[in-house]
Amino acid sequence: MKRIKVGITGPPGSGKTTLAKFFQECGAQVISLDDIGREITLKKLEEVGKALGVDVSDQPYEIQRKLIGKRAFQDPQNLRKLGEIVHPELCEEALRRLRNAEGDLIVLEGALLFELGLNEHVDKVITVTAPEKLLLRRFLEKSGYDEKAFRVILSYQWPQEWKGLSSDFVVNNTGDLDSLRERASQILGKLKQDP
């Protein structure tokens, strides 16, 4: 298999991170936009707190992160402000990690792959989708945020149908983990045959 870079994207609750983990189990190096975003937010905590009107001083980082998340995900304007601070450096760092990644299969995983133009820097794109009710249920179970936060986050992203039309593979993740793992295996097989 020749070296290939794959982007994995999808809305909150779609299972894109789980799919990326399955690829990682098969030897892929995974670069997570969420992880990079958290690192940059931590580095720019005071600037982010000030922009969102949140006092983050004298609090443990996990509490600061929750305060910022709560404020950002309750208002599209706040989410935009957070993006203006974090996204330029996030893109730079993601591209640096892509350049320096080792191995035959590199996965760049994140919800904003298309929105940030990072799809242009990978060879193939996989969009993970699911019906909105299922997305919402998974999001509420996993995130600790409410439905309003889900709606605000969705409003900041391209519709999953658009992403699907611009992707090489679409994974409709409505089944269990075994189904998702099987789909990952099928896609990996296709990538090995015809990258």
Q: What is the pLDDT of residues 129-176, one digit of tens each?
A: 999 999 999 999 999 899 999 999 999 999 999 999 999 999 999 999
pTM of the model: 0.94
Residue 1 has what pLDDT? 60
154 residue type, one letter = L
Three-class DSSP labels, the chain? CCCEEEEEECCCCCCHHHHHHHHHHCCCEEEEHHHHHHHHHHHCHHHHHHHHCCCCCCCCHHHHHHHHHHHHCCCHHHHHHHHHHHHHHHHHHHHHHHHHCCCCEEEEECCCCCCCCHHHHCCEEEEEECCHHHHHHHHHHHHCCCHHHHHHHHHCCCCHHHHHHCCCEEEECCCCHHHHHHHHHHHHHHHHHCC
The dihedral formed by the CA atoms of 172, 177, 182 and 187, expressed in degrees to the nearest 10: 50
Residues contributing to the annotated binding site for ATP: 13-18
Domains and CATH numbers, the chain: 4-190 (3.40.50.300)
Task: Name the phi and psi angles at 31, rounded to 5.
Answer: -110, 120
Q: pLDDT averaged over consecutive 10-residue blocks of the chain (195 residues)?
A: 91 96 96 96 90 82 82 93 96 97 95 97 98 96 93 94 96 95 95 76
Residue 61 has what pLDDT? 74
Q: What is the mean pLDDT of the chain?
A: 93
Residue 193 has what pLDDT? 86
Residues contributing to the annotated binding site: 13-18
